[in-house]
Structure 1
Amino acid sequence: MKVLALVSGGKDSCYAMMRCIDYGHEIVGLANLMPMDDSVDELDSYMYQTVGHQIVVSYAECMGLPLFRRRIQGSMRHQHLNYKMTSGDEVEDLFILLNEVKKQIPSITAVSSGAIASDYQRLRVESVCSRLGLISLAYLWKQDQTLLLEEMIRRGIVAIIIKVAALGLDPAKHLGKELGDLQPYLLKMKELYGINVCGEGGEYETLTLDCPLFTNARIYLDKFEVIMHSPDHIAPVGVLHPLTFHLQHKQEVLSSRISDVGSGKVSYVSEVKGDSTLDDTVPSHPIHSQFGIHTTTKSLSLCISRSSRDMFSIGCWIQNLSSTSEGLQEDLIAVLGKIEMTLNEDGFSWLNVIYIHLYISNMNDFALANDVYVKFITEKKCFLGVPSRSTIELPLLQVGLGNAYVEVLVANDHNKRVLHVQSISCWAPSCIGPYSQATLHREVLHMAGQLGLDPPTMTLCLGSPSTQTEQALLNSEAVASCFNCSLASSAILLVVYCAACLTFSERAEIEHKMESFFEKISDSLEVKRVSEPVFLYILAPALPKGALVEVKPVLHIPENIDDEVENNLPQSAGKEMVWDLQYFDCYSSCYQVYSVIGKICTALVSVTKDVVAKICSKAEPELISDNHLRMIVKFCVFSVNKILLDNYFFWGDLTHLKFYYTPDLSMKAEDLNIIFYEVFAEFREASRSFEMGKEPIFSLIPVLSSGRSASMEDIITCELFASKL
């Protein structure tokens, strides 16, 4: 990609440019924001480094690249972490600058920044890039600062300290000193006082005088003065004010740089009427009039699971019994429109949605699905953060459903923490679009489906399926670390989607990789788990980007890790019902549970051919009649009831209850749904004292196969999740 680099003069923005080149990108221009007054060294800004701005003008000549500069006219007006376009805010100066650069160099597709740990800065750069249709590159994001500092020095960045503001750093001693000379001292200060060795906590700022990208010349600072901002005797604050400098030219470069606007040119971008008022707002329901949701003639089936507590799920799909289809766009518009209407009727909105499962009939329509998706789920509607999401292809049409099936998990509050990183970095795959890497709500972390993508290149890892699996797990671990947890210690459920093109032996490799990965990180962290996480394997026709595997973890992150389990024990959920207890012998061997008593419970129930043979007393379980299927469903309901009772949960505590089934049942979804409805009605009648509610509390999901292992031999797999949080 052709990249415009944001430069402050500091070491981080310079090294970020070097990393861009490492990954095959081309730096075609530089951009810098500076104070209105040249004599001012530093502004009261969390967004921009301006100390040393007098020297940045020379970067154009040093690198032989055009430099675009703008004076900062705004101030920090929008103080929330997630930025919203605000007139007069200093972020709008960045927008005006990049907007003008984009006009002059239309080939630019990405913007580089040196963000390492500041969500405040990263989110604002991402916001501006999103409005301009640019990609944010942040290759230093979440990298170990000690290693970063070592790499910068080793790779030839020559930078001096131009500001200090931390215990252990003295303006009189350290201003003007080279970073390489101070590295041992900075490491010592980290051990003594816990400072960030790269200065990410504001401890110090730097000015780069030379680096490998300065192919034409390097900078020499001839004269400067030290200005004390705060003479505090514990942590004095001082800055270096440059007075004179000169450039020392290097050997003539054999091949000169070519730029659309001229090498080494410095341009100043002033206010242009209309630039700062780009309307990036989204109408409340723009897609209704555009595509005519309210005039659709499709038969919509809505499945709602409502907890008596604080969370519920909604599943919506198209009933397509005639086996004809109008296409994904129309189906997805209808489904999302119906879900939005249902949310609004109950006083909710997309802001309440924690997680979205997007199932489509053909992965070739993935881009089209995203185009429709962004018309409904936007950052404006979800100002606390867009929901996390996973997307897979399912055999929807084979069972008489439409082209789109959507499940949403909804909370009745806004107490969630969302991690949404859109920048491409070395940390974990970016989310370029309205979905986030993870959402934490009431001690449960719902993570987006992770593919085996190499984060800095956003391409699938080459090699075997197990290679992609390992990368997907590493990506998941990187996301988990942002919440101060690990898969090894916190994972309670992992759904592993496998592509249909995989052989049985390849799926077995994936399962082995999953097990060995958890053993490895558990040993390295010396983590002792109460029980192992629940693993659910699902075979899907196709996954995004042609991936072979997609991993979707769910983690439990207790607010108080020292809580005693005994203190959370609730009263018994009730006496065990005598309802088809003839299924008890089969039940004991076909389920897996992870439970934190009094908090959460997740479980799988596997109905294999062997189980069917026992339940139905049938020698040939592959020939399943409607009556046999009814017995299987009754067994599933019995199993769910027993799991809930054994773990001190009520039916009203369920946040979702899913039944995965295969098209091999030779039954349309609508017919299967009727059987489930009737069995649940029978159970509800027999258990009047239980909180089941009047609405159906389950969703039926067609898959190629599923199970608790990579063999995926289940005829039906039941997944439940209950919570008292």
Structure 2
Amino acid sequence: MKVVALVSGGKDSCYAMMKCVQYGHQIVALANLMPVDDAVDELDSYMYQTVGHQIIVSYAKCMGIPLFRKRIQGSTRHQKLSYKMTPGDEVEDMYELLKEVKKKIPSIEAVSSGAIASDYQRLRVESVCSRLGLVSLAYLWKQDQSMLLQEMIDNGILAITVKVAAMGLNPEKHLGKDISFLYSYLHKLKELYGINVCGEGGEYETLTLDCPLFVHARIVLEEFQVILHSSDSIAPVGILHPLAFHLETKAESVSVGGCDKMNDLRHENTGLVYEVQAENSEGCMDAKESVADVTVLTKAADDGLQISTKKEDLAFSISCWLGASESSGLQDDLKGVLRKIEAELSGHNLDWRNVLYVHLYISDMNEFAVANDTYVKFITQEKCPSGVPSRSTVELPLPHVGLGKAYIEVLVTKNEEKRVLHVQSISCWAPSCIGPYSQATFHKNVLYMAGQLGLYPPTMTLTKGGAVAELELALQNSEAVAKSFNCSISTSSVLLVVYCSESIPSSERGKIQDKLEAFLKQIKSSSTKEGKLSKVLDHLSLYVLVPDLPKRALVEVKPLLYNVDDAETITEGKSLTRMGNQSFQHEGWHDTCINRCIVNGTICALVMSVTNETAVRLCSEFLSANRKSEDIQNLISERQMDRISRFCVYLLDKILAENSFFWEEIVSLRVYYPVSLHIPLDALSLLFKNALEELAEMHRQPIFNIIPVLGAGSSTTMDDLITCELFAQRT
């Protein structure tokens, strides 16, 4: 991509440019924000470094590309973490600057920034990029600061300190010093006082005088003045004010650190500097267009939609789908489904901001772009100020069971106290979510993570090497997201759902399960050695075979984690006495059908498998054990499935009762069944509904969703007749 780089003069923004080039992008322009008054060194800004701004003008000549600059007119008016367009805010200056760059160079696709740990700055850059249709590149995001500082030094960043404001840093002694000279001392201060060695806490700021991207010249600082802003005896604050500098020309053939692409880059305005003037209008009324779109899309819902809800409880689920007879294509089907969900939410005095998670099921992954375009008409960042819900998307064989092109399941809460991680910048940390869905949503100690693919974060491309390689990278990405919430998929996982594409050869499927267990064991072992391991959950694994996944991926991992408090006990709870289902008497083999993850009094997760062997035992008068698996599936009728569904409800109820959980506390219950059973979804849904209504102590119908798949199970054979996935939480 062609990139405009936000530069402050600091080491971070310069090294971020180098990483862009490393990953195949082209820096075609620079953008800088500076004070209105040239004599002012520093502004009271949460967003911009301005110390050393007098020298930034030289970057255009050093790199041989145009520099666009704008004077900062605004101030910090919108102080909440997530930014929304606010007239007079300093972020709007960045918008105007980048808008002008895009106008002058229409081929620009992305913006580079040097954010390392500041969500405040990252979210504002992402907001501006979203409004301008640009991609945010933040290759330093979430990187280890000690390693990052060493990388900068090793890769030829020559940067000096221009501001110090931390215990142990003295303006007279440490201003104007090269970061390589201060490297050891900064680490000593980290040990003594816990400072950020890259200066992310405002401990110091730098000015880059040379780096491999400066192919034409380097900056030589001749004279400077130390200005003391605060003489605090513990942490004095001082800045470096440049008085004289010049450029030292380099040979044209210079090529360092893989950045020779810069030598080939030519632009008709190479090396020129443009000052962008302030506009009278605020300029960013893109939202008006989207509001008009939504008004059209929220008309009365289509007939034929079906819905299951749990209205009275704190958390509940809504699932909607169309019958095949009402289907008129994915776009219209998805609009109809989303309209109905929106209306249902409104009926509970709720809206999209109350949605924690979205399962988006479509009938053809070739239409993924169409689905996304429709989705963003309804679920937007403007409608979800506290964060857009996390999402997973898979293709399901919907037409095989009499459904239309789209099927959506949403998890809703009346309690808006959620924490959402939505990183839209492309970085080395984890795959970005460029669009209205988040990496993860944290609510009531449960982390609902978006479906993770085996994407290489810096390039957002699928890793090569097949399903096992994709799974390993997807798990690494999941672990990176989990760490942002002080969790680990090896110790905090309640349930790991692994969607497997039918494109995976049968011979490879067993290796997926082996890799999953080995990966979790490795992380757990590493955590034990580092002394980080306290509580460990006995996670459940569920494998689901589907026709296709986004980007033609072979696997997609969907983790559900629980942040265990040290005070909690991970044991099974005390048994409740319930009437239960009298149609079945407990037998020893029943226990082999179900796996569980229990946190006493708080969490109950179950995965139940009805295998062919189980079906034979339950329906022995109809089925014979010596029949082949495919024969059994063909012989299962609605009559036999009625008994199987009742058995599922009986056994789930038994385990819930043994651990002191009630059906009213169920957050989700999914019933996966292979379309090879040739049972319409409506028919199977009715069977489970009838079975649930038989529970004597039930006061209301529990929510459940029937999911048609190619196969599912607790192992990668994925040959269950029925697989139930239950998650309950006591809030």
> TM tier, shorter chain?
over 0.9
Counterpart in the other structure of 1:337: 339
Identity of aligned residues (%): 56
Counterpart in the other structure of 1:363: 365
Structure 1 distance, partners of 2:425, 2:290, is 26
Task: Give 2:545's match in structure 1, choosing from 534, 539, 543.
Answer: 539
Structure 2 counterparts to residues 155-170 of structure 1, below 5 A: 155-170=155-170
Structure 2 distance, partners of 1:344, 1:61, is 57
CA deviation profile, 1:67-99 (whole Å, cap 9, x unmatched) = 000000000000000001000000000000000
CA contact (8 A) 1:64 1:257 kept: no
DSSP 3-state at the match of 2:286: coil
Q: 1:258 to 1:534 in 2, by over 3 A?
A: closer
Structure 1 distance, partners of 2:477, 2:199, is 26
Counterpart in the other structure of 1:242: 242
CA contact (8 A) 2:224 2:241 kept: yes
Counterpart in the other structure of 1:680: 692
Shift of 1:225: 0.7
Pairing 1:186–2:193 present: no
Structure 2 counterparts to residues 292-691 of structure 1, below 5 A: 293-294=299-300, 296=302, 298-306=303-311, 309-320=313-324, 322=325, 325-526=327-528, 527=533, 530-558=536-564, 560-563=565-568, 573-575=576-578, 577=580, 579-582=582-585, 584-617=587-620, 618-619=623-624, 620=627, 621-622=632-633, 623-681=635-693, 683-684=694-695, 687=696, 690-691=697-698
CA contact (8 A) 1:522 1:528 kept: no
Counterpart in the other structure of 2:251: 251
Structure 1 distance, partners of 2:496, 2:292, is 35
Counterpart in the other structure of 2:258: none
CA deviation profile, 1:240-284 (whole Å, cap 9, x unmatched) = 011111111111359966554511100000013435343335655
Q: Mean alpha-carbon deviation: is it higher for 272-281 or for 169-178?
A: 272-281
Structure 2 distance, partners of 1:273, 1:494, is 53
Structure 2 distance, partners of 1:244, 1:493, is 62
Structure 2 distance, partners of 1:658, 1:295, is 25
Shift of 1:288: 5.2
CA contact (8 A) 1:99 1:275 kept: no
CA contact (8 A) 2:387 2:421 kept: yes
Structure 2 distance, partners of 1:156, 1:443, is 44
Shift of 1:586: 4.1
Q: Mean alpha-carbon deviation: is it higher for 133-142 or for 308-317?
A: 308-317
CA contact (8 A) 1:507 1:710 kept: yes
Q: 1:571 to 1:498 in 2, by over 3 A?
A: closer
CA deviation profile, 1:160-201 (whole Å, cap 9, x unmatched) = 011000011110110011111111111111111111110001
Shift of 1:572: 5.3
CA contact (8 A) 1:305 1:656 kept: no
DSSP 3-state at the match of 1:376: coil
Counterpart in the other structure of 1:723: 729
Q: 1:577 to 1:26 in 2, by over 3 A?
A: same
CA contact (8 A) 1:59 1:67 kept: yes
Q: 1:253 to 1:268 in 2, by over 3 A?
A: farther
CA deviation profile, 1:410-433 (whole Å, cap 9, x unmatched) = 111110000000000000000011
Counterpart in the other structure of 2:704: 698
Counterpart in the other structure of 2:224: 224
Structure 1 distance, partners of 2:120, 2:101, is 23
Shift of 1:384: 0.3
DSSP 3-state at the match of 2:388: coil
The one-letter amino acid paired with 2:553 is A
The one-letter amino acid paired with 1:547 is A
Structure 2 distance, partners of 1:20, 1:573, is 59
Structure 2 distance, partners of 1:66, 1:636, is 67
**TM-score, normalization: structure 1?**
0.95
DSSP 3-state at the match of 2:287: coil
Counterpart in the other structure of 2:714: 708
The one-letter amino acid paired with 1:669 is L
Counterpart in the other structure of 1:38: 38
DSSP 3-state at the match of 1:390: strand
Counterpart in the other structure of 1:106: 106
The one-letter amino acid paired with 1:313 is S
Counterpart in the other structure of 2:259: none
Shift of 1:662: 1.0
Shift of 1:565: 6.1
Mark the runs of 5 or more structure 2 residues left unpaired by the alignment.
255-261
CA contact (8 A) 1:387 1:436 kept: yes
CA contact (8 A) 1:65 1:257 kept: no
Task: Give 1:262's match in structure 2, choosing from 256, 262, 269.
Answer: 269
Counterpart in the other structure of 2:17: 17
Structure 2 distance, partners of 1:327, 1:277, is 34
Structure 2 distance, partners of 1:578, 1:369, is 42
Shift of 1:486: 1.0
Shift of 1:604: 0.6
Q: 1:284 to 1:574 in 2, by over 3 A?
A: farther
Structure 1 distance, partners of 2:653, 2:57, is 71
Query: Number of residues paired by the alignment?
Result: 711
CA contact (8 A) 2:146 2:197 kept: yes
Q: Mean alpha-carbon deviation: is it higher for 621-630 or for 373-382?
A: 621-630
Mark the runs of 5 or more structure 1 residues left unpaired by the alignment.
none
Shift of 1:674: 2.1
DSSP 3-state at the match of 1:357: strand
Counterpart in the other structure of 2:92: 92
CA contact (8 A) 1:468 1:549 kept: yes
CA deviation profile, 1:205-254 (whole Å, cap 9, x unmatched) = 00000001111111111111111111001000000011111111111359
The one-letter amino acid paired with 1:653 is E
CA contact (8 A) 2:59 2:67 kept: yes
The one-letter amino acid paired with 1:191 is E
Pairing 1:276–2:283 present: yes
DSSP 3-state at the match of 1:525: helix
Structure 1 distance, partners of 2:408, 2:415, is 21
Q: 1:544 to 1:702 in 2, by over 3 A?
A: same
Q: 1:309 to 1:56 in 2, by over 3 A?
A: same
CA contact (8 A) 1:105 1:260 kept: no
Q: Mean alpha-carbon deviation: is it higher for 407-416 or for 270-279?
A: 270-279
CA contact (8 A) 1:293 1:333 kept: no
The one-letter amino acid paired with 1:641 is D
CA contact (8 A) 1:45 1:76 kept: yes
